[in-house]
């Protein structure tokens, strides 16, 4: 069991595996193409809780309960909980910790928080720190709308580049040791990249350079190319973000082919469900990983996945004051291990 | 130089600009005309009803406005007005029913934070700028009118 620095912010991880994952989504997410991969679909956006914020909290609490149950352990076996959300002061993650009473690291990197958590947990686990870490991320469409945009019932037209914050939560239990089929092999923590985008309704364009920076750094550190992975999933770049990632990557000589996809783009039927650029929010990449992506690795359909969640680190105040949008992306690569513990 | 002001950033913004999806402007304008026209027709119908009921055209104006505001508020409460605006755009925002939507939506949303700090503080979050600049514009026009015609 060990950890090796293989580049700045890049670490090779040994013997950290995924014990279980869980994902719960809202009704719109349930109707999307990945609906069947969720463990549970809420019948309405406000299925639980008196307010949107309480609903978001209930969503993360339920998902954490479920992943502990699926891992076949009890809460006492969890050494550390890490997670994040979008709401001011991280209220969903922090308030939900009143219930589980486990040591907590509340994290923030907007929609990139799930891979930030996976990466941080993996480095700690492989360095003989905690033995089991629960990583979670959540978002709720209505709670995010209320904080970042307009009241729900206010009528307005969304622009074609606007993203749809997902009502979803994902949770993973990571454990030290290689006894489970899916393991983490390397992580790269992102740098803040700001190429001057100012439009809060076009986060895909703002985040694409950050995603590319982290992907390039991860590939350089691990001596891999994108073609070494069965799939590469970004967090919530959406249609326009993937297009710009491809163009910008092409300028830098990086071949971004069809294996590079996006969680936000995959979560919904973009046209039929009227979500424009695609899904976003911390719960988007967290639930797509915990449902769909993990399943592909678990059954061995994929052997290697590069998972790069992306975050736009702005607040309503900064964009109203005319600031550009700093962005970040954190990368985690995972492998399917054949029985016996060898990595392909 | 900071990254966000660098030549690399400027070149990227050009790339973003040339890859922006087109907004369906012609379709939006036609739909706005249609939706705005329909709401105006409803308003006209209400006014005619008041006139048939015995009011003068001038007297019928205020109650017509009140009924339209009530309808806008009702449709907002039922969760339908945002759907109307999604398709009709400015055609549904501009009429007084849109103003009712802009008032009722925050009132509903911030009820949870209480009647004073919630509804009281947030009621004008959307409509506030309309009132501020609407009243300012009216003041300027009023002054000009006074200076030109001498009538206050």
C-alpha separations of A183 from A41, A85, A226, B15, B82 in Å: 27, 25, 19, 38, 46
The minimum CA-CA distance between B14 and chain A, rounded to whole Å, is 11
Please give the pLDDT value at position B23: 85
Q: Where are the domains of chain B?
A: 16-149
CB neighbours (10 Å) of residue A88? 10
Residues in chain B closer than 8 A to A239 (CB atoms):
21
The interface pTM score, or ipTM, of the predicted complex is 0.90
Residues in chain A closer than 8 A to B105 (CB atoms):
150-155
C-alpha separations of B74 from A202, B11, B108 in Å: 33, 49, 12
Residue in B2, B4, B109 closest to A152 by CB? B109
3-state secondary structure of B104: helix
Residues in chain A closer than 8 A to B20 (CB atoms):
160-161, 202, 240
Are A2 and A122 contacting, i.e. CB atoms less than 8 angstroms apart? no
Distance CA A114, CA A331 (A): 10
CB neighbours (10 Å) of residue B87? 16
Please give the pLDDT value at position B40: 96
C-alpha separations of A216 from A134, A221, A256, A326, B140 in Å: 28, 9, 11, 18, 57
The minimum CA-CA distance between A329 and chain B, rounded to whole Å, is 17
Distance CA A127, CA A107 (A): 20
Distance CA A277, CA A272 (A): 12
Distance CA A210, CA A246 (A): 13
Cα angle, residue A254 at apex, residues A161 and B13 outer, rounded to 5°: 35
Distance CA B40, CA A148 (A): 32
Full set of structural domains in chain A with CATH: 3-176 (3.40.47.40), 182-336 (3.40.47.40)
Distance CA A69, CA A139 (A): 22
User: What's the token pair of residue B36?
Assistant: 């705005």
User: What's the token pair of residue A174?
Assistant: 């990571």
Which residues in chain B show pLDDT less than 70?
none
Stretch (H or E) spanning A175: strand A168-176
Are A287 and A166 contacting, i.e. CB atoms less than 8 angstroms apart? yes
Which residues in chain A show pLDDT less than 50?
341-344
Contacts of B91 (CB under 8 A, 6+ apart): B31, B32, B33, B34, B35, B36, B37, B39
Residues in chain A closer than 8 A to B21 (CB atoms):
160-161, 239-240
Please give the pLDDT value at position A130: 96
Cα angle, residue B88 at apex, residues B98 and A152 outer, rounded to 5°: 55
In chain A, positions 176-205, which contact chain B (CB-CB < 8 Å)?
193-197, 202, 205
Are A249 and A214 contacting, i.e. CB atoms less than 8 angstroms apart? no
Residue in B3, B15, B126 closest to A150 by CB? B126
CA dihedral A165, A166, A169, A172 (to 10 degrees): -90
């Amino acid at each position: 069991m060990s950890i090796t620095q293989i580049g700045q912010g890049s670490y090779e991880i040994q013997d950290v595996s995924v014990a279980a994952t869980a994902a719960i989504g809202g009704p719109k997410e349930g109707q999307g193409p990945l609906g069947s991969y969720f463990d549970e679909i809420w019948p309405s956006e406000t299925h639980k809780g008196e307010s949107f914020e309480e609903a978001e909290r209930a969503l993360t609490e339920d998902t954490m309960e479920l992943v502990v149950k699926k891992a076949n352990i009890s809460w006492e076996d969890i050494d550390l909980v890490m997670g994040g959300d979008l709401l001011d002061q991280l209220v969903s993650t922090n308030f939900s910790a009143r219930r589980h009473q486990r040591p907590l690291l509340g994290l923030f990197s907007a929609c990139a928080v799930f891979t930030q958590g996976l990466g941080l947990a993996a480095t700690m686990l492989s360095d003989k720190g905690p033995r089991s870490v629960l990583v979670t991320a959540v978002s709720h469409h209505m709670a995010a709308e209320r904080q970042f945009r307009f009241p729900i019932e206010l009528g307005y037209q969304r622009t074609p580049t606007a993203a749809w914050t997902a009502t979803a939560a994902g949770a993973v239990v990571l454990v030290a040791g290689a006894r489970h089929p899916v393991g983490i092999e390397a992580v790269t923590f992102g740098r803040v990249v700001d190429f001057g985008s100012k439009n809060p309704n076009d986060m895909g364009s703002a985040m694409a350079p950050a995603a590319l920076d982290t992907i390039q750094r991860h590939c350089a550190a691990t001596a891999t190319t994108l073609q070494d992975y069965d799939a590469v999933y970004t967090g919530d770049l959406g249609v326009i973000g993937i297009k710009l990632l491809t163009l910008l990557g092409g300028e830098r000589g990086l071949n971004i082919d069809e294996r590079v996809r996006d969680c936000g783009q995959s979560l919904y039927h973009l046209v039929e469900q009227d979500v424009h650029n695609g899904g976003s929010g911390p719960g988007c990449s967290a639930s797509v990983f915990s449902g769909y992506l993990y399943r592909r690795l678990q059954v061995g359909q994929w052997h290697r996945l590069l998972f790069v969640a992306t975050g736009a680190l702005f607040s309503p105040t900064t964009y109203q004051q005319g600031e550009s949008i700093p962005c970040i992306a954190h990368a985690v690569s995972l492998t399917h291990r054949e029985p016996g513990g060898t990595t392909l | 130089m900071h990254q966000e002001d660098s030549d690399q950033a400027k070149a990227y913004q050009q790339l973003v600009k040339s890859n922006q999806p087109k907004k369906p402007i012609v379709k939006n304008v036609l739909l706005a005309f249609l939706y705005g026209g329909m709401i105006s027709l409803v308003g006209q119908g209400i006014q005619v009803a008041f006139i048939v009921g015995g009011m003068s055209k001038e007297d019928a104006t205020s109650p017509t406005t009140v009924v339209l505001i009530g309808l806008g508020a009702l449709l907002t409460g039922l969760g339908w007005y945002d759907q109307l605006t999604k398709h009709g755009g400015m055609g549904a925002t501009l009429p007084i029913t849109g103003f009712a939507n802009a008032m009722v939506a925050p009132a509903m949303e911030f009820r949870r934070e209480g009647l004073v700090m919630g509804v009281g503080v947030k009621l004008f979050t959307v409509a506030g700028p309309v009132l501020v600049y609407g009243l300012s514009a009216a003041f300027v026009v009023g002054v000009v009118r006074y200076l030109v015609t001498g009538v206050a």
